[in-house]
Structure 1
Amino acid sequence: MRLTTFGFFVGFVAVGAHLLGDVLTPAGVNLFWPWGREFSLYLTRADNTVANYGLFLLGVFAVAAAGVLAVQGLP
């Protein structure tokens, strides 16, 4: 049961991170479909190489930090 919960949590966080990344682009995210309201911060374009690598490195850091916390055990 714990592995199932962990898998759900990883999937939930991955989808949330992807949606958050889409909010940074002008295309935005329509969170309340079928209503036409899109949310966007217009910070960067989706084809911006620097922003993509920056978000990738942020994700790598987050996974490494989670791994360290998992090995050490949470208080």
Structure 2
Amino acid sequence: DDLNLLHRGGAEGLAWAQQQARRFIEAGGAFAPGWQARLHGIGQGFVARRLSPGGSADLLACSWFLLQQERA
């Protein structure tokens, strides 16, 4: 659960965001053809609902940074 999503969108906004993430992953995530367009559409939905997954986004960025350090 992302507390920033909960704060900005309430329980409904958090549930919507979780549903979008679940559907994206179930459809194959970034390994499925056309994933960029689907992800862009999800992003537009976040903007329209004024949702920002702040805590999760920070964790993802940190994880990506650490992964890149291991590859160096």
TM-score, normalised to structure 1, is: 0.30
Structure with larger Rg: 1
Higher relative contact order (CA 8 A, sep 6+): 2
